[in-house]
Amino acid sequence: MPQGVLVFAEQREGIVKKASLEATSEGCRIANQLGEELSVLLIGSSIKHLPPKLFPYGAHKVYLADHSMLEQYSSEGYSEISYKLITERDPAIVLFPATAMGRDIAPRLAARLKVGLASDCTVLRLNEEKRLECQRPVYSGKAFALVQLTSTPQMATLRPNVFSAEELKEPPQGEVIELSVELKPENIRAKVVDLIKPEQEVPDLTEAIVIVSGGRGMKSGESFELLEALASTLQGAVGASRAAVDAGWVDHQIQVGQTGKVVSPQLYIACGISGAIQHLAGMSSSKFIIAINKDPEAPIFKAADFGIVGDLFKVLPCLTEALQKLSKA
Protein backbone atom coordinates (compact mmCIF):
# COMPACT_ATOMS: atom_id res chain seq x y z
CA MET A 1 0.00 0.00 0.00
CA PRO A 2 1.34 3.45 -0.90
CA GLN A 3 2.69 5.21 2.15
CA GLY A 4 4.45 8.35 3.23
CA VAL A 5 5.13 11.76 1.77
CA LEU A 6 7.96 12.43 -0.67
CA VAL A 7 9.14 15.98 -1.38
CA PHE A 8 11.19 16.84 -4.44
CA ALA A 9 13.63 19.46 -3.09
CA GLU A 10 15.21 21.79 -5.60
CA GLN A 11 18.81 22.82 -5.18
CA ARG A 12 20.77 25.03 -7.52
CA GLU A 13 24.53 25.47 -7.27
CA GLY A 14 24.58 23.66 -3.94
CA ILE A 15 21.89 25.78 -2.30
CA VAL A 16 18.52 24.37 -1.29
CA LYS A 17 15.88 26.80 -2.49
CA LYS A 18 13.61 28.46 0.07
CA ALA A 19 10.59 27.15 -1.82
CA SER A 20 11.93 23.62 -1.26
CA LEU A 21 12.15 24.17 2.49
CA GLU A 22 8.57 25.43 2.42
CA ALA A 23 7.48 22.29 0.55
CA THR A 24 9.44 20.11 2.99
CA SER A 25 7.79 21.81 5.96
CA GLU A 26 4.32 21.39 4.48
CA GLY A 27 5.18 17.77 3.65
CA CYS A 28 6.11 17.31 7.31
CA ARG A 29 2.75 18.71 8.50
CA ILE A 30 0.86 16.38 6.13
CA ALA A 31 3.01 13.36 7.05
CA ASN A 32 2.37 14.03 10.75
CA GLN A 33 -1.38 14.12 10.18
CA LEU A 34 -1.14 10.81 8.35
CA GLY A 35 1.17 9.37 11.00
CA GLU A 36 3.62 8.49 8.22
CA GLU A 37 7.17 9.31 7.24
CA LEU A 38 8.51 12.27 5.29
CA SER A 39 11.25 11.67 2.74
CA VAL A 40 13.02 14.18 0.56
CA LEU A 41 14.69 13.68 -2.79
CA LEU A 42 17.73 15.78 -3.65
CA ILE A 43 19.27 15.64 -7.10
CA GLY A 44 22.50 17.28 -8.26
CA SER A 45 26.26 17.01 -8.36
CA SER A 46 28.61 17.38 -5.35
CA ILE A 47 25.70 17.89 -2.97
CA LYS A 48 26.59 15.44 -0.20
CA HIS A 49 26.69 18.32 2.28
CA LEU A 50 23.02 19.23 1.72
CA PRO A 51 20.91 16.56 3.50
CA PRO A 52 21.57 17.97 7.02
CA LYS A 53 19.92 21.19 5.83
CA LEU A 54 16.64 19.32 5.40
CA PHE A 55 16.50 17.35 8.65
CA PRO A 56 15.48 20.39 10.74
CA TYR A 57 12.34 20.67 8.60
CA GLY A 58 11.22 17.15 9.43
CA ALA A 59 12.81 14.88 6.82
CA HIS A 60 13.20 11.33 8.13
CA LYS A 61 15.02 10.23 5.02
CA VAL A 62 16.90 12.13 2.36
CA TYR A 63 17.40 10.27 -0.91
CA LEU A 64 20.48 11.62 -2.58
CA ALA A 65 21.18 11.32 -6.30
CA ASP A 66 24.66 12.78 -6.67
CA HIS A 67 26.24 12.43 -10.10
CA SER A 68 28.25 14.64 -12.45
CA MET A 69 25.63 14.17 -15.18
CA LEU A 70 23.10 15.77 -12.84
CA GLU A 71 25.02 18.98 -12.27
CA GLN A 72 22.58 20.97 -14.38
CA TYR A 73 18.83 20.41 -14.29
CA SER A 74 17.43 18.41 -17.17
CA SER A 75 13.81 17.37 -17.34
CA GLU A 76 14.79 14.01 -18.78
CA GLY A 77 17.62 13.15 -16.36
CA TYR A 78 15.87 14.41 -13.23
CA SER A 79 12.56 12.78 -14.11
CA GLU A 80 14.31 9.46 -14.77
CA ILE A 81 15.76 9.49 -11.22
CA SER A 82 12.50 10.65 -9.65
CA TYR A 83 10.38 8.14 -11.56
CA LYS A 84 12.58 5.26 -10.44
CA LEU A 85 12.43 6.33 -6.80
CA ILE A 86 8.66 6.87 -6.84
CA THR A 87 7.95 3.46 -8.39
CA GLU A 88 10.32 1.71 -5.96
CA ARG A 89 9.22 3.48 -2.78
CA ASP A 90 5.55 3.90 -3.62
CA PRO A 91 4.75 7.11 -1.69
CA ALA A 92 1.12 8.15 -1.17
CA ILE A 93 1.89 11.82 -1.79
CA VAL A 94 4.60 13.58 -3.82
CA LEU A 95 5.10 17.35 -3.45
CA PHE A 96 7.19 19.80 -5.49
CA PRO A 97 7.91 23.50 -5.13
CA ALA A 98 6.12 25.37 -7.95
CA THR A 99 9.40 26.87 -9.13
CA ALA A 100 10.53 26.80 -12.75
CA MET A 101 12.06 23.37 -12.02
CA GLY A 102 9.10 21.96 -10.11
CA ARG A 103 6.64 23.13 -12.74
CA ASP A 104 8.81 21.51 -15.38
CA ILE A 105 9.41 18.09 -13.88
CA ALA A 106 6.10 17.39 -12.10
CA PRO A 107 3.92 17.18 -15.24
CA ARG A 108 6.44 14.88 -16.95
CA LEU A 109 6.31 12.57 -13.95
CA ALA A 110 2.52 12.76 -13.73
CA ALA A 111 2.34 11.73 -17.38
CA ARG A 112 4.63 8.76 -16.82
CA LEU A 113 2.76 7.64 -13.74
CA LYS A 114 -0.62 8.40 -15.40
CA VAL A 115 -1.78 10.37 -12.38
CA GLY A 116 -3.37 13.76 -11.73
CA LEU A 117 -1.40 16.80 -10.62
CA ALA A 118 -2.61 19.90 -8.77
CA SER A 119 -0.46 22.86 -9.82
CA ASP A 120 0.57 25.93 -7.83
CA CYS A 121 -1.40 25.06 -4.70
CA THR A 122 -1.81 27.55 -1.88
CA VAL A 123 -3.50 25.30 0.71
CA LEU A 124 -3.22 21.53 1.25
CA ARG A 125 -5.46 19.54 3.55
CA LEU A 126 -6.52 15.98 4.16
CA ASN A 127 -10.18 15.01 3.87
CA GLU A 128 -11.99 12.41 5.98
CA GLU A 129 -10.58 9.59 3.87
CA LYS A 130 -7.10 11.02 4.43
CA ARG A 131 -6.88 11.99 0.78
CA LEU A 132 -5.33 15.25 -0.32
CA GLU A 133 -7.50 18.24 -1.20
CA CYS A 134 -5.67 21.18 -2.70
CA GLN A 135 -6.72 24.76 -3.05
CA ARG A 136 -5.28 26.52 -6.06
CA PRO A 137 -5.84 29.95 -7.56
CA VAL A 138 -7.31 29.89 -11.08
CA TYR A 139 -7.86 32.74 -13.53
CA SER A 140 -4.71 34.15 -11.87
CA GLY A 141 -6.44 34.46 -8.54
CA LYS A 142 -9.82 35.75 -9.73
CA ALA A 143 -11.15 32.46 -8.30
CA PHE A 144 -10.00 29.59 -6.09
CA ALA A 145 -10.50 25.95 -7.02
CA LEU A 146 -10.60 23.11 -4.54
CA VAL A 147 -9.12 20.11 -6.30
CA GLN A 148 -9.36 16.51 -5.20
CA LEU A 149 -6.62 14.11 -6.23
CA THR A 150 -8.25 10.81 -7.12
CA SER A 151 -5.15 8.93 -8.35
CA THR A 152 -2.09 7.73 -6.44
CA PRO A 153 0.53 8.95 -5.84
CA GLN A 154 -1.25 12.23 -5.16
CA MET A 155 0.91 14.92 -6.71
CA ALA A 156 0.94 18.67 -6.16
CA THR A 157 3.24 21.64 -6.75
CA LEU A 158 3.28 24.31 -4.01
CA ARG A 159 3.38 28.01 -4.78
CA PRO A 160 6.52 29.67 -3.35
CA ASN A 161 6.17 32.25 -0.57
CA VAL A 162 2.83 30.86 0.63
CA PHE A 163 3.68 27.96 2.96
CA SER A 164 5.85 28.60 6.00
CA ALA A 165 9.20 26.87 6.42
CA GLU A 166 9.52 26.01 10.10
CA GLU A 167 12.47 24.38 11.79
CA LEU A 168 11.28 21.75 14.26
CA LYS A 169 12.28 21.96 17.94
CA GLU A 170 12.92 18.23 17.95
CA PRO A 171 13.76 17.18 14.43
CA PRO A 172 13.90 13.47 13.57
CA GLN A 173 17.20 11.65 13.44
CA GLY A 174 17.60 11.85 9.70
CA GLU A 175 18.96 9.15 7.46
CA VAL A 176 20.73 9.67 4.13
CA ILE A 177 20.20 7.10 1.41
CA GLU A 178 22.45 7.41 -1.60
CA LEU A 179 20.82 6.34 -4.84
CA SER A 180 22.77 4.58 -7.52
CA VAL A 181 22.55 6.70 -10.65
CA GLU A 182 22.44 4.75 -13.88
CA LEU A 183 22.20 7.35 -16.58
CA LYS A 184 23.54 7.07 -20.09
CA PRO A 185 24.46 10.20 -22.05
CA GLU A 186 21.65 9.43 -24.51
CA ASN A 187 19.13 9.68 -21.64
CA ILE A 188 19.67 13.44 -21.59
CA ARG A 189 18.98 14.94 -25.00
CA ALA A 190 18.10 18.53 -24.04
CA LYS A 191 21.25 19.86 -22.35
CA VAL A 192 22.03 23.10 -20.56
CA VAL A 193 25.01 24.58 -22.41
CA ASP A 194 25.16 27.98 -20.71
CA LEU A 195 23.68 30.09 -17.95
CA ILE A 196 23.12 33.79 -18.54
CA LYS A 197 23.12 35.78 -15.32
CA PRO A 198 22.00 39.39 -15.22
CA GLU A 199 24.79 41.90 -14.52
CA GLN A 200 23.16 42.79 -11.26
CA GLU A 201 21.61 40.13 -9.06
CA VAL A 202 17.87 40.80 -8.90
CA PRO A 203 15.66 39.09 -6.32
CA ASP A 204 13.09 36.90 -7.99
CA LEU A 205 9.59 38.35 -7.84
CA THR A 206 7.92 35.10 -6.81
CA GLU A 207 10.21 34.83 -3.80
CA ALA A 208 10.37 38.52 -2.85
CA ILE A 209 9.05 39.62 0.55
CA VAL A 210 8.46 43.18 -0.66
CA ILE A 211 7.60 44.25 -4.21
CA VAL A 212 7.52 47.86 -5.42
CA SER A 213 5.71 48.03 -8.75
CA GLY A 214 5.26 50.78 -11.29
CA GLY A 215 2.68 51.35 -14.00
CA ARG A 216 1.71 53.84 -16.66
CA GLY A 217 1.94 56.65 -14.12
CA MET A 218 5.75 56.25 -14.02
CA LYS A 219 5.81 57.97 -17.44
CA SER A 220 9.28 56.62 -18.42
CA GLY A 221 11.80 53.85 -17.86
CA GLU A 222 14.15 56.26 -16.11
CA SER A 223 11.68 57.03 -13.36
CA PHE A 224 11.79 53.35 -12.32
CA GLU A 225 14.93 54.44 -10.47
CA LEU A 226 12.58 55.89 -7.87
CA LEU A 227 11.16 52.40 -7.39
CA GLU A 228 14.62 50.82 -7.29
CA ALA A 229 15.59 53.20 -4.50
CA LEU A 230 12.49 52.39 -2.45
CA ALA A 231 12.82 48.67 -3.13
CA SER A 232 16.46 48.57 -2.07
CA THR A 233 15.57 50.36 1.18
CA LEU A 234 13.03 47.63 1.89
CA GLN A 235 15.24 44.83 0.48
CA GLY A 236 12.57 44.18 -2.07
CA ALA A 237 12.21 43.67 -5.79
CA VAL A 238 10.83 45.91 -8.52
CA GLY A 239 7.81 44.85 -10.54
CA ALA A 240 5.74 46.46 -13.27
CA SER A 241 2.28 46.47 -14.77
CA ARG A 242 1.63 45.31 -18.30
CA ALA A 243 1.25 48.94 -19.43
CA ALA A 244 4.83 49.73 -18.34
CA VAL A 245 6.17 46.58 -20.02
CA ASP A 246 4.25 47.14 -23.26
CA ALA A 247 5.51 50.74 -23.35
CA GLY A 248 9.02 49.26 -23.45
CA TRP A 249 10.13 50.92 -20.20
CA VAL A 250 11.09 47.70 -18.42
CA ASP A 251 11.69 44.02 -19.20
CA HIS A 252 8.75 41.61 -19.38
CA GLN A 253 10.44 39.40 -16.76
CA ILE A 254 9.20 41.75 -14.04
CA GLN A 255 5.60 42.01 -15.27
CA VAL A 256 3.04 41.25 -12.58
CA GLY A 257 -0.44 40.19 -13.66
CA GLN A 258 -2.37 37.63 -15.59
CA THR A 259 0.11 37.39 -18.48
CA GLY A 260 3.06 37.96 -16.19
CA LYS A 261 4.05 36.71 -12.77
CA VAL A 262 1.56 35.94 -10.04
CA VAL A 263 3.11 37.09 -6.79
CA SER A 264 2.28 36.88 -3.11
CA PRO A 265 4.73 39.03 -1.15
CA GLN A 266 4.18 40.31 2.38
CA LEU A 267 3.99 43.85 1.06
CA TYR A 268 3.08 45.08 -2.43
CA ILE A 269 3.46 48.77 -3.23
CA ALA A 270 1.65 49.77 -6.44
CA CYS A 271 2.84 53.11 -7.83
CA GLY A 272 1.08 54.79 -10.71
CA ILE A 273 -0.86 51.60 -11.40
CA SER A 274 -4.57 52.11 -12.10
CA GLY A 275 -5.48 48.55 -11.11
CA ALA A 276 -6.78 46.82 -14.25
CA ILE A 277 -8.40 43.44 -13.47
CA GLN A 278 -5.44 41.84 -15.31
CA HIS A 279 -3.00 43.34 -12.84
CA LEU A 280 -5.11 42.81 -9.71
CA ALA A 281 -5.27 39.13 -10.59
CA GLY A 282 -1.51 38.84 -10.28
CA MET A 283 -1.02 40.54 -6.93
CA SER A 284 -4.22 40.36 -4.93
CA SER A 285 -2.92 37.50 -2.77
CA SER A 286 -0.24 39.83 -1.34
CA LYS A 287 -0.54 40.11 2.44
CA PHE A 288 -0.57 43.93 2.48
CA ILE A 289 -1.15 46.25 -0.46
CA ILE A 290 -0.23 49.92 -0.65
CA ALA A 291 -1.31 52.11 -3.56
CA ILE A 292 0.11 55.47 -4.58
CA ASN A 293 -1.80 57.15 -7.39
CA LYS A 294 -2.87 60.65 -8.28
CA ASP A 295 -6.34 59.56 -9.42
CA PRO A 296 -8.59 59.06 -6.36
CA GLU A 297 -11.00 57.05 -8.56
CA ALA A 298 -8.35 54.48 -9.61
CA PRO A 299 -9.62 50.91 -8.98
CA ILE A 300 -6.33 50.05 -7.27
CA PHE A 301 -7.57 51.91 -4.16
CA LYS A 302 -10.36 49.32 -3.79
CA ALA A 303 -7.72 46.58 -3.53
CA ALA A 304 -5.35 48.53 -1.27
CA ASP A 305 -5.07 48.30 2.50
CA PHE A 306 -3.49 51.75 2.52
CA GLY A 307 -3.70 54.30 -0.26
CA ILE A 308 -2.09 57.66 -0.84
CA VAL A 309 -3.77 59.97 -3.32
CA GLY A 310 -0.90 62.08 -4.58
CA ASP A 311 1.90 62.69 -7.03
CA LEU A 312 4.18 59.66 -6.90
CA PHE A 313 7.14 61.77 -8.07
CA LYS A 314 6.83 63.66 -4.77
CA VAL A 315 5.59 60.85 -2.52
CA LEU A 316 8.19 58.24 -3.47
CA PRO A 317 11.37 60.24 -2.68
CA CYS A 318 9.77 61.38 0.56
CA LEU A 319 8.87 57.79 1.51
CA THR A 320 12.30 56.40 0.63
CA GLU A 321 14.01 59.12 2.65
CA ALA A 322 11.76 58.56 5.67
CA LEU A 323 12.39 54.81 5.59
CA GLN A 324 16.15 55.30 5.28
CA LYS A 325 16.09 57.57 8.32
CA LEU A 326 14.09 54.99 10.19
CA SER A 327 16.50 52.16 9.40
CA LYS A 328 19.47 54.27 10.53
CA ALA A 329 17.80 55.22 13.78
Partner 1 sequence: MKVIVCIKQVPDTEAKIKIAPHGRAIDDAEINYIINPYEEYAIEEGLRTKESLGEGEVILISVGPERASTALRSGLAMGADRAIHINDPLIDENDPLLVATLLSKAIQQEGYHLILCGVQGVGTDHYQVGPILAELLGIPHVGVVTKLQISPDKAVAHREIEGVSEVIETPLPALFTTQKGLNEPRYPSLKGIMMAKKKPLTVLDCQQLGVSEEEVNKLKGKAPIIKLELPPMRPKGTVVEGEPSETVKQLIEWLQRETGIL
Q: State which of positions 115-144 bind partner 1 (CB under 8 A).
A: 115-120, 133, 136-144
- Asked if residue 181 lies in contact with residue 69, where contact means CB atoms within 8 angstroms, the answer is yes
Among 88, 296, 297, 328, binds partner 1 (CB under 8 A): 296
The least CB distance from residue 321 to partner 1, in Å, is 9
Q: How far apart are CA 238 and CA 222, in angstroms?
A: 13
What's the CA gap between 137 and 159, in Å, rounded? 10
User: Whole-number minimum distance, CB 189 to partner 1, in Å?
Assistant: 4
| Residues of span 238-267 touching partner 1 by CB under 8 A | 251-253, 255, 258-260, 262, 266-267
- List of residues 6+ apart from 3 with CB closer than 8 A: 36, 37, 90, 91, 92
Q: Which of 45, 232, 278, 324 binds partner 1 (CB under 8 A)?
A: 278
201 contact partners, CB below 8 Å, separation of at least 6:
none
**Does residue 284 bind partner 1 (CB under 8 A)?**
yes
- Please, which of residues 200-239 interact with partner 1 by CB under 8 A? 201-204, 206-207, 210, 234
CA-closest candidate to residue 186, choices 78, 77, 107, 101 = 77
Among 45, 73, 172, 299, binds partner 1 (CB under 8 A): 73
The answer to whether residue 101 forms part of the interface with partner 1 (CB under 8 A) is yes
Amino acid found at 242 = R
Question: Could you say whether residue 290 binds partner 1 (CB under 8 A)?
Answer: yes
Give the footprint of partner 1 on residues 151-190 (CB under 8 A).
151, 189-190
| Interface with partner 1 in residues 39-68 (CB under 8 A) | none
What DSSP string describes 106-162? HHHHHHHHT--EEEEESEEEE-TTS-EEEEEEEGGGTEEEEEE--SSSEEEEE-TTT
Among 2, 14, 33, 322, interactor with partner 1 by CB under 8 A: 322
